[in-house]
A and B are shown apart, each in its own frame.
Chain A
Amino acid sequence: MILATALVVGALAVYVFDFARHRPETIAIGTGDGVVKVRMQTVAQLGYGPKADWVSYLIERPDGEWAHSTIFQVPAHSTVEFTILQYDNATPPRNPFWGQVIGTEGDVIEVDGESTKVLDPTKEVAHTFTMPNFGVYVPLAAVGNDAKNQCQVAPCTEDQAHRTIKFRIETGEPGTYRFQCIIPCAAGFAQGWGGPMQTIGYMDGLMEVV
Chain B
Amino acid sequence: MREQPLGSTDPHPSDARRHARRLAWACIGITLISAPLAFWVLGPGLPPGTESFQDDNQVWVNRVILAFVLPIYLGICAAFIYSFFAFRDRGRAAGDAVPVADDPRVQRWWIVASAAVVVFLWAFGTYEWIWAGVGSGGGQGPVPLVRPDGETLEVQVIGQQWHFTYRYPSYGGMESPELILPQDRQIEMHVTSLDVVHSFWAVELGAKADAVPGFDNILYLEPLDPGAFEIKCAELCGLWHGQMYATGRILSPSEFDDWASDHRRATAQITGFLPDYAHVYFPQPEYRGS
> Which A residues fall within an 8 A CB radius of B?
44, 55, 88-91, 94-97, 99-100, 102, 107, 117-118, 120-122, 130, 132-133, 135, 137, 178, 180, 182-193, 197-200, 204
Contact = CB atoms under 8 A, between A and B. Distances in A.
Interface string B153-189: 0000010111101000000000101100000000000
B290 A182 contact: no
A143 to B, nearest CB: 10
A55 B290 CA distance: 10
Judged by DSSP, the binding face of B is: loop
Given A95-B175, A99-B270, 20 more contacts: A89-B290, A91-B288, A94-B283, A99-B273, A100-B269, A120-B273, A122-B273, A132-B244, A132-B246, A133-B245, A184-B289, A185-B289, A187-B290, A188-B289, A191-B287, A192-B287, A193-B161, A193-B196, A197-B161, A198-B239
B267 interface: yes
B274 A132 contact: no
A192 B238 contact: no
B270 A96 contact: yes
A35 to B, nearest CB: 26
A178 B244 CA distance: 10
19 contacts: A55-B289, A89-B290, A96-B270, A96-B274, A96-B275, A97-B267, A97-B274, A100-B267, A118-B270, A132-B177, A133-B243, A135-B177, A135-B178, A178-B240, A184-B288, A193-B195, A197-B161, A197-B239, A198-B239
B243 A186 contact: no
A97 B275 CA distance: 10
Contacts of B160: 94-95, 182
Give the top 7 A-B pairs by smallest Cβ distance, nearest first.
A192-B288, A187-B289, A184-B288, A100-B270, A94-B283, A96-B273, A198-B239
Contacts of B161: 182, 184, 193, 197
Chain B interface size range: 20 to 34
Given A94-B194, A178-B240, A186 B288 contact: yes
Interface in B191-226: 194-196
Contacts of A186: 288-289
A91 B290 contact: yes
B286 interface: yes
A66 B283 CA distance: 35
A181 to B, nearest CB: 10
